[in-house]
Homo-oligomer: A and B are copies of this chain.
Amino acid sequence: MVTISDVAKRSGLSKSTVSRVINNHPYISKEKRELVQKAMDELGYYPNPSARRLRGQLKSTMGVIVPRIVNPFFSYLVDAIEQTAYQNNYQLLIFQSNENKEKELSFLNLLKTRQVDGIIMTSVENNFEVIEPYTKYGPILFCNEYLTNTSVPKVKLDQSIGSYTGMKHLIDRGHTKIGYCTGGLFAEDGKDKDRNQGYQKALDEAGIPVNTNWIFINQHTIEDGKEVMKQILSMDDRPTAIFTGSDEIAAGVMIEAKDQGLTVPDDIAIVGFDDQPIAEMLDPKLTTIRQPISLMGEKAAEGLALMMQENAVNPKDVDLPVELIIRGST
C-alpha cells in the first residue's frame, strides 16, 4: 500500500507538506505543490480513509436506512440519494432495517464510531427517546417517514394532500362506498397518519361517514392486496371503489378482482399510490398518486450534506407536492 510517507520520500518533502497538499491548505509554494502532485500520480497514491477517519478528519460517508430495498419505492429513493451523494463526493452506505428496532439501532450506532458521518432515515422504528441521543454523534435527517415534534429536519411528501386528492377523485366519479388500505393501524398519531387525515377530510367534505368495515390496516404487499379483495368479495355490503396505500396493494387487488371475474373499474374502481412502473403495466392501467421520489431523494441528500458541513446549519423542512395520475382503473 502506498502511504503518505512514500509520497514524502519520493518528492523529497515531509509528510506534513504532502498532507497539506492533499487537504488544499494555503501557504504552500506552487513549486512544491507540483512536486507532491507528481509523486502522488506516479505512485498511484490514495489516502487511507480509515486513518483519516481515525484522526478525526474524514466526513465522507452518508448512511441511509430503508426498511426493504426490494420495495421499489425505496430502491428508487435510494437510487436518487446515491446519485446526489455521489455528485457531492459522499459515499453512501445502504442499510436495511427489515422494520426491526434492534437493527435500526445498530445502524444508528455506526455514528458513534464514525463509520458513517450522517444518516438519512427513510423509515423509523424506534421512539424518539431512543433515537434522540444519537443526534449528538452526528446529523440525522428524516426522509419520507418522520416523527412529529422533534428538531430533526424532515424531507417529506405531502401525503395528506395525496390521499385527499385520490379520495376526492373517487367521490367525484360518484363513489360513496370507498374502501381504504393503510400501512399503519389507522391511529391518530401512528404510521400513515397524514394519509388518514386526507382520507377523513375528503369524506367529511362530502358528508360521507366512515365505514370501518372497509378499512384495512397493515397492508403492504401484492399478496395483501389479493387478500383484501377476497375479504371484500365475502361482504354483503361491498365498497365500489378502493383507495390503496401503494401500487403493489392495488396490483394485488386488481389481479384478484379479475381472477374472480370482476371488471375494473366498473365493478370496482382502484386507486394506487406511488406511480411505480407497474402502474402502467396493469390492465387497465392504474390511476394513482405520483410521488416525486427522485426529488425527495435529492433534497434529502442535499439537506444532510448541509448538516455535515463545517459550520452546519439545519436545513428547512421540505414538503413535496404529489400529483394525481388518472388512468383506466377509475
Residues of A within 8 A of B (CB): 1, 46-51, 53-54, 68-70, 72, 75-76, 78-79, 82, 93-94, 96, 109, 112-115, 222, 248, 251, 255, 258, 277-278, 280-283
Contact = CB atoms under 8 A, between A and B. Distances in A.
B49 A115 contact: yes
A1 B82 CA distance: 29
Contacts of A112: 1, 46
30 contacts: A1-B113, A46-B109, A46-B112, A46-B113, A47-B113, A48-B54, A49-B50, A49-B113, A50-B51, A50-B53, A50-B114, A68-B79, A69-B82, A72-B72, A72-B75, A82-B96, A94-B94, A222-B277, A248-B277, A251-B281, A255-B280, A255-B281, A258-B283, A277-B278, A278-B278, A278-B281, A281-B281, A281-B282, A282-B283, A283-B283
A306 to B, nearest CB: 23
Given A72-B72, A281-B255, A115 B79 contact: no
Contacts of A1: 112-113
Contacts of A79: 68-70, 96
Among A75, A112, A258, A277, chain B packs the most CB atoms within 10 A around the CB of A75
A260 to B, nearest CB: 14
A281 B51 CA distance: 50
Contacts of A94: 69, 93-94
B48 A113 contact: yes
A277 B255 CA distance: 12
List the 4 closest A-B pairs by CB distance, nearest first.
A50-B53, A283-B283, A50-B54, A50-B50
Contacts of A115: 49-50
Nearest to A48: B113
A263 B311 CA distance: 62
A253 to B, nearest CB: 11
Nearest to A53: B50
